[in-house]
Amino acid sequence: MADNPLAFPSGWPDHDIEPVGGMFLRDWFAGQAMASMLTGVVTDSGAYARGDCNAVIVQRAYVIADAMLAER
């Protein structure tokens, strides 16, 4: 999958063995974006500032991940 390759594949690329395992790069990008966004919505007690922000953060994280893949 050239547009969304594995982020952390294992294998022997020098020996023509297809890499396996790991997560897709899109998921890695989304996780990094989400972690960054959460720094602004987590309170000092560790709770979310708004209870309904979960779905919004996930959706935005994947929008950012898709943009990163497109730019890549």
Tell me the pTM: 0.63
pLDDT digits (tens, 9 = 90+) for 2-23: 588 888 777 666 666 666 777 8
| pLDDT, tens digit, 9 for 90 and up, residues 22-65 | 788 999 999 998 888 777 665 555 555 555 567 778 888 899 99
CA distances from 39 to 1, 19, 51, 57, 59 (A): 32, 34, 15, 11, 16
